[in-house]
Structure 1
Amino acid sequence: MKLSNRAKNIAQSEIRAMSILCNEKNGLNMAQGLCDLEVPLPVVEGAKEGIDRGKNTYTSAYGNYKLRAAIAKKQNDFYDQGIDVDNVLVSLGATGAFYATAMSLLNEGDEVILFEPYYGYHVATLKSIGCKIKYIRTNPPAYEIDFQNLKDQISEDTKAILICNPSNPSGKVYTKEELQTLSEVINQNDLFLFSDEMYEHFIYDELEFVSALSIESLKERTVVISGFSKIYSITGWRLGYAITQKGIIDAASAFNDLVYVCPPAPLQNGILKGLNELPKSYYENVAKEHQKKRDKFIKALNDAGLKAEYVKGAYYVLADISKLEGEDDKQKVVTLLEKTGIAAVPARAFYQESEGIHLARFCFSKKEEELDEAIERLKRL
């Protein structure tokens, strides 16, 4: 039997591939974006209550109404955006929310601009629905956008721009000024914006996170994608959401229904209880805790000769692995795994053309004992 052309566009991610290799070698996995926080008690209790109360049947394809209302309330409490329940869709993770909204807005052959380094699942999702992708490279350490180059790259086929803010993998945090400039480009060219804001609460050095929906001129042209996998440490629950105009949410709910039917009913109850009961200080403390982990781990990388900048957001860092043995980034991360037992992700996971880019992504959201162990292992270099 011949596979479809669509199937040929999808391959196992480098992140998952390195996680498998790490398991085979019984290594320390700093490749996959697993958040090692304790799951907040209200979230756990809410899910248990959901099961105990028999919340085991289908929910709406939009997601639980009370949960959607709670997401809207949280968005307004943090960013004062005037969001209501009709602007929210709950799906199977941020990946599901992105898929459902992208299917609603993009046709086969439409072009979407992504900035390198990018998040691989964004690429895979867009390819799976037949979109063309235009890659525009940003340069370390700040990974700033060359806006003139961006304007020059827009074509008749361009329909959207996608950003990850804070960025996985670079840790870049977009400033208000950058988002305003991006808004000018989007409005002048009749485009819309996908803004993946999964790491909105992982912000360091007292920076203020600015959501794309907080830019007035972007409100009518933006789909915000986010979720709970990281902030509540429930990557396996698969619960995320999209926030955008009601018409897009209505269309996306139909794709949500077709592909996923509905998000897991009792787990939605856990998120609802978490949103209702966890104070703002919970989110602030998560950021403070991760800044300490960032400082400790990035210092260790630099001490080991793997040069790395102190990222502003998310919980990943791209480090220079040029000093390691190997002809390319993949061979070098295998060398790292063999010498230290630490698994990282090679740059090819984040660049269309990775030749000559000797970088690796490390996830520093680890329990203290694991982070300390990683720091000790780096000394072997």
Structure 2
Amino acid sequence: MNISKRAQQITQSEIRAMTILCNKVNGINMAQGLCDLKVPDVVQTGAKEAIEMGKNVYTSALGEPYLRAAIGETLTRNYGRKIEAGNVLVSNGATGALYCLATTLFDEGDEIILFEPYYGYHVSTLESLGCKIKYLKTLPPNYEIDFDKLEDAISEKTRAILICNPSNPSGKVFSKEEMSRLAEIVGKNDIYLISDEIYEHFVYDGLAFTSALSLQAIKERVIAISGFSKIFSVTGWRIGYAICDESIISAASEVNDLVYVCPASPLQYGVNQGIKYLPKQYYTDVARDHQQKRDTFISTLNEVGLAADYVKGAYYVLADLSSLPGDDDKEKVLYLLKKTSIASVPARAFFSDPNGINLARFCFSKKEEELEEACRRLRKNL
């Protein structure tokens, strides 16, 4: 069979590959971003009720009007900018929302700037559309942006800067000052700022989260991407959304219609019930519990010689595997899997040049007993 050049460029992610290997040994999967929270009762019950009510047919390619309105009202309340239902596109997860918006806005050869380490699916999505990616390195522990280099990287072909805030995989939380500086650069160069904010509720150490939606000066140039996979622990439901100017939403809905037709009707109702009835304390508790999990796991990593900094957001940590046998990060994570039955992701998945990278990403959003078992295995075997 003749496979298209486009298909040949798309390869299995390291995250998925390590998950498959982990399943073969019935190990502890700290490779995939599976949030092990209990799905809130009101969310599960809402989806069941929707099926019983007959919400089993096509919905609008824009998403259900009531869910779009609920998302808009919540973001208006949280970030101080009026978001109407017309500014919201509901799609098949945050990944689907990004694909629809990128397809709508970018042509082949357009340049997009990403900060390294990056989230691999962002790269794969843009490359599948023929976009050219410019990478700007950021370094631990704070992953600060060199704004002079950022401005130098912008050319007449640059269409957007794409960030992940809080960051997967680095755990960086962009400060208010950094977001303001990004807004200045975006406005001056008449480009877009795309902000993947799927981990907006996973912020630690009393830090404040600054959404791109709060950047009033460039509100027409901001595209925020988020969803419910993480905060409601429904990664398999694939309910995500994009927020931006209504004229862009209208065009992106046609892509959504072509690729996905519509998001799942009963699942939209389920997450809407979560938005409607879960108290603010629910989100506070999620952040508090994950900070405790962070502290437990990163303390253990450092104890066994896998040096790691305490991340500020999301629920991943990059750990140094230099002390483990192997010639590169892939061999080292395979050794770790064999030795402990714990799966992690080789950091090559998050860097444009894997040479010299001796890091792995671990997801610490696990049930308490599973996290404790992972810590026990690391102490015993390393």
Map 1:215-254 onto structure 2 (within 5 A). Answer: 215-254=215-254
CA distance in 2, matches of 1:218, 1:377: 49
Give the structure-1-normalised TM-score.
Answer: 0.99
Equivalent AA in structure 2 for residue 131 of structure 1: C
- 1: CA distance between counterparts of 2:134 and 2:208? 30
Equivalent residue, structure 1, for 2:5: 5
Shift of 1:186: 1.1
The answer for the alignment partner of 2:336 in structure 1 is 336
Secondary structure at the counterpart of residue 229 of structure 2? coil
Structure 2 CA distance, aligned partners of 1:190 and 1:272? 35
Deviation of residue 190 (structure 1)?
A: 1.4
Separation in 1, partners of 2:29, 2:198 = 21
Q: Which amino acid aligns with 2:369?
A: E
Give the drift of 1:118: 0.4
Partner of 1:111: 111
Runs of 4 or more above 6 Å deviation: none
Distance in 2 of aligned mates of 1:125 and 1:365:
25
Aligned-partner residue type, residue 201 of structure 1? H
What is aligned with 2:362?
362
SS of structure 2 residue aligned to 1:236 = coil
In structure 2, the partner of 1:152 is 152
Aligned to 1:322: 322
1:153 partner amino acid: A
Q: Distance in 2 between matches of 1:219 and 1:305?
A: 45
What TM-score do the two structures reach when normalised by structure 2? 0.99
3-state SS, counterpart of residue 330 of structure 2 = helix
Percent of aligned pairs with the same amino acid? 64
Which residue number in structure 1 is paired with residue 31 of structure 2?
A: 31
C-alpha deviation, 1:218, in angstroms: 2.6
DSSP-derived class of the 2:107 partner:
coil
Query: Structure 2: which 5+ runs fail to align?
Result: none
1:178-217 superposed matches below 5 A: 178-217=178-217
Cα distance in 1, alignment partners of residues 25 and 277 from structure 2: 41
1:357: Cα distance to partner?
1.2
Q: Determine the C-alpha separation between the residues in 2 that align with 1:138 and 1:11.
A: 25
**Mapped partners of 1:86, 1:75: distance in 2:** 13
State the alpha-carbon separation in 2 of the partners of residues 158 and 113 from structure 1. Answer: 8
Across the aligned residues of Structure 1 and Structure 2, the Cα RMSD in angstroms comes to 0.7
* Counterpart in the other structure of 1:53: 53
Measured in 2, the distance between the counterparts of 1:341 and 1:267 equals 34
Residues 31 and 361 in structure 1, CA contact (< 8 A), matched pair in contact too = yes
User: What is the match of residue 88 of structure 1?
Assistant: 88
Q: Contact 1:337–1:343 at 8 Å: present in 2 too?
A: yes
Structure 1 unpaired stretches of 5+: none
Partner of 1:62: 62
1:96 counterpart letter in structure 2:
G
**Structure 1 Cα separation of the partners of residues 76 and 303 of structure 2:** 42
Query: For the Cα contact (< 8 Å) 1:212–1:218, is it kept in 2?
Result: no
Corresponding residue of 1:41:
41
Q: How far 1:130 moved relative to its partner?
A: 1.0
